[in-house]
Amino acid sequence: MTHLRRIMLEELQRRHYSEATTQHYIRFVERFAQHFRCSPDRLGRQHIREYQAQLFTVQKLSPGTVTNHLCALRFFYIQTLKKPWSIADTPYPKKRHRLPTILSQEEVAQLIDAAPTTFYRTVLMTLYATGVRNAELTRLKISDVDSQRMVLHVQGGKGRQDRDVMLSPILLEELRAHWRRLRTRSSVWLFPGNRWHSGDQPIDTKTPRYACQDAARRAGIKKKVYPHVLRHCFATHLLEAGADLHTIQILLGHHDLKETAIYLHLSQRHLHATASPLDSLVLKGRLQPEG
């Protein structure tokens, strides 16, 4: 497996897969081989189907997680072993489409106000004000803050795409205050890592998650709050304020407008703009409004 692992790693890196995806794919293939106690290049379609069933019935994994395992195996067979892969023989499980959690603007304000530290407060404000992904936030550099054009540069986003998002005057003021509060100022990173935020590396993705969890608990918000929830709030609240879908698509860095269209299902303005057909029925004995 060592030789195959090296070849797969080289193929993943050559195609510019992220470090996290690369490690996941290699680990999934290794688990597949360990399950059958056999080198994966000696396993075939029947083994894949059997393993897929085992992931569902024994490990009780979600459809999305099982799909990730299959994607790793498909990459291994096609790119590493140069063998054919039949979707018909190993179909991907259907995913459950759930609407994301959304906080009201009042709840977002409560969340930010409940941040246990000023550093966490700045992190939460940046997530909500820009709609950046968790990993994108951790990699923000000082040079990405463009106060002349009032934009924030997001470099190397999903799909290695760069984009600009609006820079709120309130956020700019907060970022400047955040910078003055730092004991040791990094020459590169907007959110430096380590305990005192004085390291030469940026914060990791756990820090924004902790910021969300701690603030939600302190604010008494029962919904599960994590960084991507604030990205959903950013898009939904923009839509409710009158922004068009295409603009939101660009700000979020979505390649397909279909990804952005989900916010139509979450926007109160759009939900309330259409009356229920019940309202147009003439019903006998209909209750009259009181007063």
**Which residue in the list 24, 158, 218, 270 is annotated as catalytic?**
158
Is 133 assigned a catalytic role?
yes
**Which residue in the list 35, 74, 141, 228 is annotated as catalytic?**
228
Is 246 assigned a catalytic role?
no
Is 231 assigned a catalytic role?
yes
Q: Is 93 left (phi over 0), alpha (psi -120 to 50) or beta?
A: beta
Is 223 assigned a catalytic role?
no
**Which residue in the list 121, 231, 232, 237 is annotated as catalytic?**
231
The residues that are catalytic are 133, 158, 228, 231, 254, 263
